[in-house]
Structure 1
């Protein structure tokens, strides 16, 4: 929603509704609805006062209080009618924009699927079979090179005396302009392309396009990003890459006191930062033995090599998680949760950034724990099936490439997506993937806390009710890969 929206405004979509709107517009609609409710309350009061009037209206004099009550009733009736009309108009406008947005997204998916299918029909089968691996390899190489480059303010920046990290120099791909990868149009294109890779393979093996569309992302969802990731793993593992291993977890340091989070800013601030050798998971416990509630914070990718080493938060886990095959990072988080003492009936709210957000959503989808809400920041969670009725907040920046790597969502209305365009009227920082950094998402989280949008206020209320007001205890955990890197 552009038009008169302020640069960087929060845009809300989904959350069980068909609306797409800014948080300010939704908040205004909510205020008008409250005004209408107050007007109806005053209508009822004035009606009770009028019932006490002994004289009928024709007998009123200029000084009769009944005349003043009648005038007040007329004014309140106008307020009630006008506020209701304005509130309904705002909702209708948001729903219309949402319908147009979903129609455009559907047409983009269908067009991408048709083009991919057509390419598959023209390409040899061997070429098509290699496309998933080539796509994943190119993405891994590109992101790995970007995140290894030295850039001020990034988590991977070199410290004094630190040698340059090995990796490809992809500065040439930027063509001197970082907007190439921090462009909402490029991000939208990548989302469509990722969702269309399976259609290339379907076209190559001769599956008719209507059948491919009916079974793929555009239809039943039996094929799509998940199956493409699975095909990528099959090809990559045959040449010694992206191989999963057993994982182990250890507690880092001693438990520390923790105060209940007050909102999204606190949630984002407690997600572990990417660091070599540091903890990837933070677990907070609140309440007593009978009513324990837990917050599980999960960090993002720390290693971008396609060859599994000691770090479970790596490219192997990225692809394996998308393929829904039990990523090392997912298994490490589950182990840490068990060792921390989380029981199946305890209330849990997982929170994560990037790969950590993907793991958080998959924890909710698996159903092993009693997940009561989920919050993700910059995570490729579009294809993770959201349990019906579960409050899920997915925060994404329009220029962030990483959420697009999860493809296009078919059940977008089931989760509340909060998006923000960072650089609409500002220069893009000269750093790799600037819109994906945890620092920028923490800034957006503070904006979310300041938003009066009802859906965001409801999530904050749920968070407060879950953890309570008493101090808790926080523990930090580190997962490591063990065993042979050739394990499957």
Structure 2
């Protein structure tokens, strides 16, 4: 007989709500915990096995050589045994089918309720954004006296008490330290996601156009306006001020190993090649998150691993998050300028640096590639997959504002978001449907939020912990992604190189 699938172990999520993974998407309408979906899958497998056992019993009965209608299985000890086994198998098949149907129905009901609330929130965001845009001049005039008197009172109080501007709860930083959950609240994150998607509606309202135009052109209509157009508008308005201006970029290997390079017909010149080291293939989501470069002002932002033979290589590309938070582009292309350009889908400096690093590392258009990234790096990883420049077979993003990017069919994609992480919400509400699998958890569910970290749920260390939970999960589609990755990278060690992008002369 076919062996039963292993019963999924119940993880610590039953005891720790912060360890609960919510899984949705993947081409289905289901939204549920990973354990519930694993239980449903196990019950479906049990049902299929029971039906297979019945088919085998039917084959045993067919061995009876007695002519119909007097089969030999109508009496006797063996006949009773076979009959009893058949009834028991019927009950197993029926109960497993009923339980699986109930679990799937619960997951579909939860998913439908979530989608309905999202539709209501998006529609409300369109109306709110349009209304605020229409009322913006009046609101600004009404708020001016209050802001002026408040600023004067704050300055006077500072002079009388001797407090410095950076101290105390009167400042934004002080207030956030006193209220650490203010930006780490799933409700706030959901609201920000809707508001970001409503910026274009506010612009339509401010332009004096009627509300139906906003609804028709926005995400809920033709999709001509949205987060990308809002980001592009911010870029255009900021350029005269010298803000968010893109530049050419170049990449260098880290560390650099000088080697002689002899061009055709010319003398030898000093060149560079990346220093590589042997590395085992990634075994799961924890390994993927662990190998994403950490934020560093002078370190690498891209790690590229090559597996397989020189004739038929495959690649995993890891991309780090934002390093520089100034709106003025400097040396670092992993900055706010690239953030805004990437959201606007306008060839960010970080995207161009990643593509250049991939080509210099030897990635060819037909080679299988798995891009992986955190934060801005996840946004770039999704854009690499969507661009069609490379043969992307799978992609994994952690805490990335990539909801508006539509991935091509056939790409095995997993998006990991913390519901108390504000950064993914800056990408707005998800755009067109694709088959990516969305995995969520609330990092600080039932826990104290560290007051010294503004966005602790966005930390790469937090996503690395989520990756470990995903590896322990019995959810079948998470296991399938790991199987796909294993097929791409193989079992033999590969070679890893690191790369650093640099901004050069301005536009």
TM-score between both structures, scaled by the size of structure 2: 0.84
Q: How many residues are treated as equivalent by the alignment?
A: 444
Q: Which of 375, 390, 397 lines up with 1:376 in the alignment?
A: 397
2:17 aligned residue: 7
Change (3 A) 1:345 1:283: same
Question: Does structure 1 retain, via aligned residues, the 8 Å contact 2:182–2:188?
Answer: yes
1:52 aligns with 2:63: yes
Look up the SS of the partner of 1:382 in the other structure: coil
Q: Which consecutive residues of structure 1, in runs of 5 or more, have no partner in the other structure? A: 128-163
C-alpha distance in 1 between matches for 2:311 and 2:493: 16
Greater displacement, 285-294 / 459-468: 285-294
Question: Does structure 1 retain, via aligned residues, the 8 Å contact 2:64–2:73?
Answer: no
Change (3 A) 1:374 1:437: same
Q: Which consecutive residues of structure 2, in runs of 5 or more, have no partner in the other structure? A: 1-12, 141-165, 256-274
2:163 aligned residue: none
C-alpha distance in 2 between matches for 1:411 and 1:319: 21
C-alpha distance in 1 between matches for 2:501 and 2:217: 37
Question: Does structure 1 retain, via aligned residues, the 8 Å contact 2:64–2:72?
Answer: no
1:449 aligns with 2:471: yes
2:454 aligned residue: 432
2:131 aligned residue: 118
Deviation readout 1:408-449 (Å, 9 max, x if unpaired):
003355321100011221111222201000001000000001
Question: Does structure 2 retain, via aligned residues, the 8 Å contact 1:116–1:199?
Answer: yes
Q: CA RMSD in A?
A: 2.2
Shift of 1:452: 1.2
Q: Which of 222, 225, 230 lines up with 2:232 in the alignment?
A: 230
1:149 aligned residue: none
Look up the SS of the partner of 2:303 in the other structure: strand
Look up the SS of the partner of 1:97 in the other structure: helix
Deviation readout 1:437-468 (Å, 9 max, x if unpaired):
00010000000011111111110010000011
Greater displacement, 46-55 / 423-432: 46-55
1:94 aligns with 2:110: no
Change (3 A) 1:246 1:346: same
1:419 aligned residue: 440
Q: Which of 403, 410, 415 lines up with 2:431 in the alignment?
A: 410
Question: Does structure 2 retain, via aligned residues, the 8 Å contact 1:382–1:412?
Answer: no
Look up the SS of the partner of 1:75 in the other structure: helix
C-alpha distance in 2 between matches for 1:14 and 1:389: 14
1:180 aligned residue: 182
Change (3 A) 1:416 1:64: same
Within 5 Å, which residues of 2 pair with 1:293-308? Answer: 293-308=314-329
1:483 aligned residue: 505
C-alpha distance in 2 between matches for 1:464 and 1:304: 36
1:191 aligns with 2:193: yes
Q: Which of 316, 340, 348 lines up with 1:327 in the alignment?
A: 348
Shift of 1:169: 7.0
C-alpha distance in 2 between matches for 1:42 and 1:190: 53
Question: Does structure 1 retain, via aligned residues, the 8 Å contact 2:409–2:434?
Answer: no
Structure with higher Rg: it is 2
Within 5 Å, which residues of 2 pair with 1:259-338? Answer: 259-338=280-359
Within 5 Å, which residues of 2 pair with 1:133-152? Answer: none
